[in-house]
Structure formats: C-alpha cells, structure tokens
Amino acid sequence: MSSNTISATQTTLPPASIGTARDGGLGYYDLFDRTESTYIEVGPLVSAKPNDTVTVFWAGSAVKLHSITLEDLNQGAFPIAVLNGRIADAGDGDKVLSYTATYTQGGGEEDSDPVLIKVKRTVPGGLDPHPGTPDINENLSAAAVTPNPVPVDATQVTIIAPLWINPALGDVMVVAWNGANFFAPSLTQPFPEAVSVTLTAAEILDAGVGPAVPVTWGVHDVVANWSGWAPETVVDVRLEDPGLFLAPHVGDKDVPWTQIDLAALGSADLVVFTPDYEGAVAGDQVIVHTHGIAFDGQTHTYDSPAQTMPEPGYGLTFTVPNATAVALAGGTLRVWYTVEGRPVPESHSVWLPVLGQAVGDLPAPVIAEAVDSDGDGTVDQLDPDAANPAHVTIDYPGMLAFDTVTLIWDGRAANGTPVHYEIDRQISSVAPLTVLVTQAEILKFLDGHADVYYRVVPFSARGKAFARALAARESVRLPLRIRHVGVEQPLPVPTVDEVVNGFLDPAAEQATLRAPLYPGIAKGDEITYSWVGSVSTRTQIYKVADATKPPPDYADRAFITQNTGGNVVVSYSVKRLGVDPAVPSETAAFRIDMAEATETFEATALGDIYPRLETETMVITANALNDTSTITQWNGSSPYISGHCVHVNTAYLHPGDAPLTMALKIPSKEVSMGASGHPNLPCKLQAFSGLGGTLVDEVDLPTAPARLTLRWNGKDRIDLIRLVPIVNSPVGVFASLDNIKMKA
C-alpha cells in the first residue's frame, strides 16, 4: 500500500486520531522539535489484554511499538507517544496513519481503519526573522488602505497586501481592523500578486472608527500554520454622521479616559457620563450602549436601563458592569448613548482599547489533599506525604473543548530559592479537569510556599492560529504552605536592617540580623542566628532576656568583604527555654552588591537543548560600543549548566583590533582534561555573528571554578552566543532555556 493513499482492506479496529491535527493537519509548530512527541489516539481495543502490543504505522512504516497496560484498557481510547522526528522524516503531504493490535496471549492481530493526515511544515509568510517581536512577522509588509484618511461619506474601504512568502492553496488572509477580523477568500491558483479585503461602511462603523485605527493582516493555511501579524497601518477614520449628539465621557467626567486599564479598573464598574446634548428636554429617556470586540473577534454588548432627564442643562451618570470590560481584555470597547423618540437618536461614539488581562476572574483550582491548618475556613497547607500525587481540579465557566489550560505552581523553597512548575493540558470534553502533580515536584517547595493557579487560552473556532492570539485569563491564586504535618511550623522570617530592595551595600560596616516577635517567645529561649554566604558562614547563640525584645546579631565588616558579589541566606532557630528540639525559621536572602549598578533584561526563551541540536539565544544589551552583558540566571535541569555565569562583551571589531575574549566559569569538578590538553565539557559555547572567525578555547585547571576562555577573531559585531552540545555526551537534556536573566 502506498504511504500516501488508502487501499481497501478488511479492518476491525477504529481509526487512529491526532488531537493536534484536528485543525486540518500537522504544521510547523506541531513538529519542529524532533525530540518531542505527537500523541496518537488508538482504540478502544475490546479484545486486548495487558502486555498485548500496538504497532503504529505512519506513511507505511512502523514508528512505535507500544505494550498495552491495564490503564490503557481502562481508558478506552488511549494515547501513544510517537517522536516528532519519526513523523517528520516521512516528509510533507497526505500521510496514511494506521495501527495494528497484536494479541500475544491469544494469538492473532487486528488492523485499524487507515486515515489520511496532512503534514505541512512551510509557514505562510516564512518564519519570523526577529523573535524579539513575537507578535509581528517582519517578512510581511504593512497593508495599503484606500482611502486613507477615510472620509465621513465613504461607502467602502479596501485593504491590500502583497502576496506573502510560501503561498499555498487554501491560504486565507485575515485582516484585523481595530481588533475585528475579516477574511479574504481562500487562495487559488494562479496566485495573484496581491490579496485584498473590502469592508463596507457598516462593517467599518461596527469594527471601529477614530483618528488612529490600527489595521494589520496575517495568513493561516490549511493546517493552521500562522504567519503572525504584519506591522500595523494606522488609519484615520471619520465615518460618522456629523449630526449625532455629543459623545459621552468614560471614566472621568472632566478628563475622559482614552483607554481602559483593567489593572486600574480593578473590580469597579465602568462609569459613563452623558453630556447636556442639544435639544434636551425634561423627561427624555436616555440609554447608554456598549459594543465590545474581543481580540478573537467575539462581541460583547450591554444596554443600560433607561434614565430620565430631570431637566435640560444637566448630564446623567451611568455604570457599565465590570464584567463587560473584563470580557474584552486585549480588545476594544465602543460607548455611545441614544435618546428615545428622536429622529436621529444616537450620539457620537467613543472607542477605547481595553488594556491588560483579567487577572483572577476565574475560580481558584481545588487540591483534594490541601487542608485548612488554622481553622479559619481557608485551605492553606499541603503535606507532601499526603500528596503522592496531588489531585488538582480545574473547573471554570465558559469552558470549551480544546481550550488550553496551563496549571502553574509558583513560589519559593525553604532557602528562598524561586521554584516554578507548570504543565499544559487541552480540554477534550467539557467537564472538570483533574491534573496530577507528582510528589517529587511538590517536594521542591518543601518548607516554603507556592501560589497555585491556572491560565486559560480559550479555544477559537477559527483554529489554533487564532487561539494563540487570544487574551489569556487567569484564575484566583491558591496560596499554600508546603509542610510535613506533625512538624512544628517554621518561625517567621528574620530581617536585616541594612538591606534595601534585596541588596546590602558592600561598603557597609556591619549588618544587623533581627528575629521578629515570634509566636510563644519567652524569657530563657535560646536563639541561634545563621548567616550562609557565598564564601563564608557565621552562627551566634543568644539567650532571650526580655520577651518583648529578641536580641539581634551583627555581621562584621570582614564577613561583608568576604561575601561581596555573592548571595547570603539568613535564618534563626529557637530552642524553647533552651531545650531541644530547635525550631527553624523561614529564610531570607539578599545580595552584597550595589543595587543601582544593574538593569535586568529577559533573554529569548528557547525551549530545551538536546544532543545533536544547536540552539541560539540573543544577548540583549544597549546598542553601544563595549557594552557588557552577564547571564546571571540560567534555569536548567542539568547540573552542567544551571547557575553558570557567561560574560559576553558586545562590541564592533575592526581589522587590526585585538581578539575579543569571553569567559565561561564552570565548577572544576565538571571539567576534565582530554589527552590533547583540551577540556572535556558537556557542551561548547561559541560566539557567532554569521561571518567568519576562529574560536580558541583555553582552560584554567584545577582552580575552582574553572575558566574556559573563548577568543573570537571575527570582524563583526557579536550579538549571539551559541551553545553546541557534544554529540556523544551521555547527558540527555542539557538545559531548559525558558528563563534566562541578564544584567547589563
């Protein structure tokens, strides 16, 4: 049987399916990471037993042999993970997907019905050349809008875009006019030089008018590959009847708002003031209307109860429910009013962008194992011993199949180290979603705390290309202490008088550590203070003489000097009346450094680094000569990389200049010397500018940390670093570059 056609065969099993292909097929973003997996759903297998097998076939080749478990059979239809690389190796086009169940215990096998899955990894418009602007694809030209400005008597407006890179049959251009989406017909051959969308006056009035209406466009293809948006064209639109009443004022009567900031609005209703319009008479019935367009094109309307005009010369005050504005996060809101019984009853409109996202408008998640530790009626504590795993239930109004839900745990461990965990799930059926969080993940927060919440990107019927653009909604956060039950709770966190915004001035003569008035403090308690610096440590024991004044401790100038440039973690423990056991406190951390000397930037998020795969990240600095950037935090799962500092000088080199030198500091225990005298490392770091140049590596051993020097002899600005894993390294995953912090 051909790998791209379906032959008539006798089968008994239902066809396989792929959730991520339900929008037309598998696209670039579904398959670009060869080491990730695509989940093939098979079954139900009514004749199968545990330890029978399923072989998945893609384009005529076996790509996965799966041993059936009891859990698989209990699910009915169940997923099988197939590496993206196995799917991608078969190329693009219509591919046959099928599977065979082999009954090892009873003998025999059954085949599924085959199904065609389209694979298309070419993205309309090409890949974004500038990832630093993730919403904009600079390969796309700004649209031409005619006429611009749009006069008050215009009957239509045309938006024209040149044909994009990688055009294909079925591509659809989408025009976003003030956030409202309009679609061109599907692309057919022969391909035109340009594609256009024409809007009527009524469509423009409904979508948005004003002096600076943003208009952009993008393209999605038959498998929902999305081009991203083109740079915006700003259009001056004055398409309104000049005889309309004066426009209302929104937010403030005297200084009306020009935008709605959801963070500033909070939970308050939106206030609208109608003016003393021309021809007002006592007894007029006035109604305020709102019409909002969310980012995905969904509309939300509100009509207020009528108010009676008491007498001419006065305006009226209305309120629009907070929920109306919240539903439009990332979209726009049109506000106007009408006067009943008038020949031309409407006012001019006010169009306001709705900024921000509705934080905390969804109900908090429920964790079955979490408890109310202090009897105040609020769940506030989780014991890892009772959560193996934790069952987190997510349920929210407006849930749709294929919504994307991200469960997030964000907090700190006992020593103050930030801990973050998140996992994505897609809603398959509209019912409460239960996510299992392993005990191992929970233990990372032990004796610390975690805020547990979730984020929802709602499903768009127009496909995942549009779902990516929707404004995310967040739930209320559930704050939890992570503690073992039966262990006395840690005492309150101490403070250091001289620390400001997390920094201690290196020139300080001393630092003062204070325990607070902890619960149950009594004369005779024994307090042990602890300072753990990057170079040295310090402990000191005191007796409590006055239960209203815990004695402080002082770190001297020598301790400050020794630990300058590093982090210090402070804590204390208490022996009640001097008797064991000692109860520890929460910890606090600070850095001995000049706070104002650095500015923090976020680097490009890249996902995981694997052997045989090169990964690049931009070094973000000001565009000045001889700037210096330092990666101060590199979050990763590998001990070979996590926490290392990479110093990168960014400069323009000219012929005759000295070679540029960078240093990568690595703990010496992770570096060994090969027979050739070169260091054996789990990865290599390269400077890269796209032009020629040589890289010379030197190593300084056995000092700790080791210093690997990288000399770049190119003659161009260095604005990238490249991490190249060694092919034969035994390490499976080197690091997760989800959050690289830099300071410049």
CB 393 within 8 A of CB 365: yes
Top-tier CATH class for 366-482: mainly beta
Torsion angle of C-alpha atoms 191, 196, 197, 198, degrees rounded to 10: -130
Q: Is the pLDDT of residue 437 over 80?
A: yes
Q: Lowest mean pLDDT of 34-48, 321-335, 430-444, 701-715, name the range.
A: 701-715
The whole-number average pLDDT for the span 65-84 is: 93
Over the stretch 397-414, which tens digit does the pLDDT of each residue have? 878 787 889 999 998 887
Nearest Cα to Cα of residue 334 among 215, 175, 507, 209: 209
Q: Please state the domain extents for the chain.
A: 17-119, 144-237, 249-355, 366-482, 495-596, 598-743
Q: What is the pLDDT at residue 95? A: 95
Over the stretch 75-85, which tens digit does the pLDDT of each residue have? 899 999 999 99
Q: Lowest mean pLDDT of 310-319, 656-665, 733-742, name the range.
A: 733-742
Please state which architecture CATH assigns to domain 17-119: Sandwich (2.60)
* Chain position carrying tokens 């935090």: 633
Q: What is the pLDDT at residue 167? A: 95
**Which one-letter DSSP state was computed for residue 299?**
E
Q: Lowest mean pLDDT of 43-52, 215-224, 359-368, 441-450, name the range.
A: 359-368
- Please, what sign has the CA dihedral across residues 73, 75, 76, 82? negative
**DSSP string across 48-73:** --TT-EEEEEETTEEEEEEE--HHHH
40 pLDDT band (50/70/90 cuts)?
Answer: very high
- pTM here is 0.40
Q: What is the pLDDT at residue 413? A: 82
Q: Give the best-scoring range by mean pLDDT among 3-12, 126-135, 311-320, 678-687.
A: 311-320
Cβ neighbours for 15, distance < 8 A, ≥ 6 positions apart: 97, 98, 112, 113, 114, 115
| Domain 144-237 and domain 495-596 have a common topology | yes
Q: What is the pLDDT at residue 295? A: 61
The whole-number average pLDDT for the span 712-723 is: 37
Q: How far apart are CA 651 and CA 630, in angstroms?
A: 14
Q: 98 forms bridges with which residues in the sheet?
A: 57
Q: Where is pLDDT greater, at 744 or 144? A: 144
Reduced to 3 states (helix: H, G, I; strand: E, B; else coil), residue 187 is coil
Q: Lowest mean pLDDT of 500-504, 524-528, 636-640, name the range.
A: 636-640
CB 226 within 8 A of CB 216: no
**Which one-letter DSSP state was computed for residue 21?**
G
For residue 582, CA distances in Å to 61, 101, 489, 576 come to: 64, 61, 11, 7
Over the stretch 584-623, which tens digit does the pLDDT of each residue have? 888 888 888 875 444 443 433 333 333 333 333 333 333 3
* Ramachandran angles phi, psi of 288, nearest 5°: -95, 140
The whole-number average pLDDT for the span 61-88 is: 93
Q: What is the pLDDT at residue 122? A: 93
Q: Lowest mean pLDDT of 115-124, 299-308, 611-620, name the range.
A: 611-620
Torsion angle of C-alpha atoms 139, 145, 149, 154, degrees rounded to 10: -160
Q: What is the pLDDT at residue 621? A: 32
The whole-number average pLDDT for the span 438-443 is: 93
Cβ neighbours for 639, distance < 8 A, ≥ 6 positions apart: 670
Q: Is the pLDDT of residue 665 over 60?
A: no
Q: What is the pLDDT at residue 460? A: 52
The CATH number corresponding to 144-237 among 2.60.40.10, 3.40.640.10, 3.30.2270.10, 3.40.50.300 equals 2.60.40.10
Strands 646-650 and 473-474, sheet pairing:
unpaired
The whole-number average pLDDT for the span 158-177 is: 94
Q: Is the pLDDT of residue 542 over 90?
A: yes
Q: Where is pLDDT greater, at 520 or 245? A: 245
Q: Where is pLDDT greater, at 603 or 515? A: 515
CB 583 within 8 A of CB 491: yes
Over the stretch 251-277, which tens digit does the pLDDT of each residue have? 998 889 999 988 788 778 999 999 988
Q: Is the pLDDT of residue 670 over 50?
A: no
* Ramachandran angles phi, psi of 590, nearest 5°: -150, 170
649 pLDDT band (50/70/90 cuts)?
Answer: very low
Q: 482 forms bridges with which residues in the sheet?
A: 382
Q: Is the pLDDT of residue 113 over 60?
A: yes
Q: How far apart are CA 317 and CA 271, in angstroms?
A: 7
Top-tier CATH class for 598-743: mainly beta
Domain 249-355 has CATH 2.20.28: no
* Ramachandran angles phi, psi of 17, nearest 5°: -145, 160
Q: How far apart are CA 488 and CA 485, in angstroms?
A: 8
**DSSP string across 662-682:** EEEEE-GGG-EE-TTS-EE-S
- Average pLDDT for the chain: 77
* Chain position carrying tokens 């009567």: 253
Q: Work out the number of other CB atoms within 10 angstroms of the CB of residue 449.
A: 20
Q: How far apart are CA 722 and CA 661, in angstroms?
A: 15
Q: Is the pLDDT of residue 639 over 80?
A: no
487 pLDDT band (50/70/90 cuts)?
Answer: low
The whole-number average pLDDT for the span 728-743 is: 33
The superfamily CATH assigns to domain 495-596 is Immunoglobulins (2.60.40.10)
485 pLDDT band (50/70/90 cuts)?
Answer: confident
